[in-house]
Amino acid sequence: MSKPTIYSIARRCGVSAATVSRAFNRPELVSAPVREQIMAVAAELGYQPSSAARGLVTGRAEMIGLIVPDITNPFFPQLVRAIQQAAERMGSSVMLVDAEESAAAEVRHVAQLRSRVDGVIVASPRSSSSALREAARGLPCVLLNRPLRDLSSVICDNTSALFDAGDHLYKHGHRSFALLAGPSASWAAARRAQAIRRWARGRGVELTELGPFRATFKGGRQAGAALLGTDATAAFAFDDLTACGVLAELAGCGVSVPGERSVVGCDDVLLARTVTPSLTTVTAPTGDLGATAVQVLSRQIEAPGGAPEHVRLPGVFVARDSTGPRSDS
Amino acid sequence: MSKPTIYSIARRCGVSAATVSRAFNRPELVSAPVREQIMAVAAELGYQPSSAARGLVTGRAEMIGLIVPDITNPFFPQLVRAIQQAAERMGSSVMLVDAEESAAAEVRHVAQLRSRVDGVIVASPRSSSSALREAARGLPCVLLNRPLRDLSSVICDNTSALFDAGDHLYKHGHRSFALLAGPSASWAAARRAQAIRRWARGRGVELTELGPFRATFKGGRQAGAALLGTDATAAFAFDDLTACGVLAELAGCGVSVPGERSVVGCDDVLLARTVTPSLTTVTAPTGDLGATAVQVLSRQIEAPGGAPEHVRLPGVFVARDSTGPRSDS
DNA sequence: TGAGACAATGAAAGCGATTGCATGATTCTG
DNA sequence: CAGAATCATGCAATCGCTTTCATTGTCTCA
């Protein structure tokens, strides 16, 4: 027998399809005995409403798209999970798309998702503002970690946490710093760099800028190598993953951390706690970030064309073992 | 103006909707000038076919579901990426669902996905065989890392690689081993344990079994603590994540690796290379695993009810720094 | 007791695409 | 040159569901 539909159920129950539909969507409109019979038959037949048919008439896909630049960067799985949980709470599923660090892919995927989702969350987009705006035209959209005036955004602001990080290093006697810049297309990278520059200027300490490096472990190793070419005693890595690369490179060269150099990361991914030495970093409120993004998106979906919302959540500095007193060498 | 449909395009081009539809799906059936005009108008209007409408009539969602037990376990992002790439090649999108290590959630999600996808890939399922079979009834389904006679499966067989791992340790003089078992519901865990037991018996060495432990960093720390209660000089962790936990715990207790104890992981996630010491482990062919799973699934979708396929891909042992000569203490 | 009010249900019109069949215009073919 | 084959296109049914509107009883209240 073919897939059960509301009609097969209706026939078996001696009611009309409309009643079956209502039994599911507006149960209070159906008398108790009929409703129960419908439910029983539905369960027996293993009925599942066709979301295509429903979507066709309601115009809702009950699905949101999520575009991440690199799912293998450990920051994103946490985010994905948070977003998925939040989406589930509002009855939606998540379609995940990995843009594999390509700005072009981001835009392409937004276009592809258009017809299949109610809205999209684009995490840490690499694409140009105009391309992004264009791609999202008429599609509810929330940007994560990148503000754009006319699109909603939820961002993690690490500025003050990075100040704390700097102060923490300063107190440990460091006076010469390196900034290991992240991907040049990344707003987060620019923002973090800016915060660190401002802090350094405020403190009047020396800041060597290196990079940009890719936000990968390998990129981190390169950054580590570059760091060794300077006399900075403390370095700000773009994120935890690159920081881990730096640690690995330094370890490989026999440079002790935090003995000879201190390193701070950003994001506080699982990795940060597992490396040796554990990473001093800035904890991003992943759960909140995801939940907020979904909320904002769902508001955009409810009221398309509504004013864009901009939410900013602060990161929190956390000191671990990759930072310590400046060596007197 | 509202969303463009084939009708709005048809009207603007002075043709029927059928022709527009054909222009997209069977362009060879439409004369060149008409086709080009349709394409031009479609592009101008930013037309995107409604996948709900299409899905309703074709019965295809062009979407596959992917259920993973724990997206924050670094093994899975790699797999997700591989699967997504493969799916994209066959024109499908991927709906990711994180079951958060709950067997019940797995089954629940399979049921939910039913109506929205053409088939599902269930990675490393925790649920019982019968529940799984029941949930997948009539739904094309491929199991990853868990064989079940009547459902297709793609598994990574680490048996021989684990033998290699054992031999590697044996050559380094180890004679007393610990098996840090993974989740009891995990087929992979059972399978790995079995391989190790067999190897140990074959070699005639002592094997202490500990656990089960959860496949998380924390679970690994517990495993590490348990390990210290034994006199095993070498330990097989369930996977890299737990192995990292073990390393952290040992480091925390001042036990040197590989000086005092050797540890081997499994999966070869990014983490394995980034921890210190880098992890001796078994590399899983993630890319192949994902690509194969998608292929098998798409065959199941083409020919529903076809015979289940079973593919097994071997893991490869790789020695790094977490294993070394047995200490003479 | 009769007129609303109300509750439960059905009939039917879409939602936006695909697709089998019918049609009319061309082009072959012998 | 008549009839067949071919090509490009349109018509209309269909997919499974939601939802508006109409219908039929049942109550309730004056």
Substitution target from B1, B5, B50, B263 for chain A, most A beta carbons within 10 A:
B50
Calculate mean pLDDT across residues B39-43. Answer: 94
Q: Is the pLDDT of residue B42 over 90?
A: yes
CA dist A7 and A15 (Å) reads 9
Tokens describing residue A3: 């897939």
CA dist A76 and B219 (Å) reads 22
Cis peptide leading into B27, omega within 30 of 0?
Answer: no
Instruction: Please indicate whether, in this complex, the C-beta atoms of A274 and B100 are within 8 angstroms of each other.
Output: no
Going by C-alpha positions, the residue among A106, A101, A100, A5 that lies closest to residue A52 is A5
Tally Cβ neighbours within 10 Å of residue B138: 10
Express each pLDDT in A221-243 by its tens digit.
999 999 999 999 999 999 999 99
Q: Is the pLDDT of residue A285 over 90?
A: yes
Calculate mean pLDDT across residues A140-165. Answer: 95
Tokens describing residue A42: 């539905």
* Length B31 CA → C22 C1' (Å): 19
Crossing angle for the helix pair A240-252 and A217-228, to the nearest 10 degrees: 50
**Which nt sits closest to A54, CA to C1'?**
D17
Q: Is the pLDDT of residue A131 over 60?
A: yes
| A276 vs A279, more confident | A279
CA atoms within 13 A on the CB side of A5: 9
Cis peptide leading into A258, omega within 30 of 0?
Answer: yes
Q: What is the pLDDT of residue B1?
A: 59
Helix (H, G, I), strand (E, B) or coil at B55: helix
Q: What is the pLDDT of residue A207?
A: 97
Tell me, yes or no, if B237 comes closer than 8 A to chain A by beta carbon.
no
A142 — phi, psi (to 5°)?
-125, 130
Q: What is the pLDDT of residue B81?
A: 95
- For residue A125, what pLDDT band results from cuts at 50, 70 and 90? confident
Q: Is the pLDDT of residue A328 over 70?
A: no
Question: Which residues lie near nucleic chain D, judged by CB under 7 A?
Answer: A 2-3, 5-7, 17-18, 21-22, 24-25, 47, 49-50, 53-54, 56-58; B 10, 14-19, 22, 28-31, 34-35, 53, 56-57, 59
Q: What average pLDDT does chain A have?
A: 93
Calculate mean pLDDT across residues A185-192. Answer: 93
Q: Which chain B positions have a beta carbon within 8 Å of A81's beta carbon? A: 71-72, 98, 100
B219 — phi, psi (to 5°)?
-55, -40
Cut 0.75: pTM above it: yes
Q: What is the pLDDT of residue A1?
A: 60
Express each pLDDT in A256-266 by its tens digit.
999 999 999 99
Share of chain A above pLDDT 70, in %: 99
Q: Is the pLDDT of residue A54 over 70?
A: yes
Minimal Cα distance from B73: which residue of A? A77
Instruction: Please indicate whether, in this complex, the C-beta atoms of A111 and B48 are within 8 angstroms of each other.
Output: yes
Q: Is the pLDDT of residue B329 over 60?
A: no
Q: Is the pLDDT of residue B258 over 60?
A: yes
Residue whose CA lies closest to nucleotide D18 C1'? A57
**Which nt sits closest to B59, CA to C1'?**
D15
- For residue B328, what pLDDT band results from cuts at 50, 70 and 90? low
Express each pLDDT in B134-191 by its tens digit.
888 889 999 999 999 999 999 999 999 999 999 999 999 999 999 999 999 899 999 9
CA dist B46 and B55 (Å) reads 20
Residue at A261: amino acid letter: R
Q: Environment class of residue B230 by beta-carbon count within 10 Å: exposed (0-12), middle (13-18) or buried (19+)?
A: middle
CB within 8 Å of chain B, chain A residues 241-260: 244-245, 247-248, 251
Of the candidates B56, B61, B78, which has its C-beta nearest A56's C-beta? B56
Measured in angstroms, the CA of B55 and the nearest CA of chain A are apart by 6
Of the candidates A49, A71, A217, which has its C-beta nearest B77's C-beta? A71
Calculate mean pLDDT across residues B226-253. Answer: 94
Instruction: Please indicate whether, in this complex, the C-beta atoms of B84 and A94 are within 8 angstroms of each other.
Output: no
Q: Which chain A positions have a beta carbon within 8 Å of B271's beta carbon? A: 271, 274
Q: Is the pLDDT of residue A134 over 60?
A: yes
Q: Is the pLDDT of residue B327 over 80?
A: no
> Which residues pair with residue A154 across a beta bridge?
A144, A311
CB B69 within 8 A of CB B124: yes
Calculate mean pLDDT across residues B299-317. Answer: 93
* Length B47 CA → D8 C1' (Å): 23
Express each pLDDT in B140-154 by its tens digit.
999 999 999 999 999
- Which bases in strand C are touched by protein, i.e. have an atom under 7 Å from a CB? 7-12, 14-20
Q: What is the pLDDT of residue A102?
A: 87
Q: What average pLDDT does chain B have?
A: 93
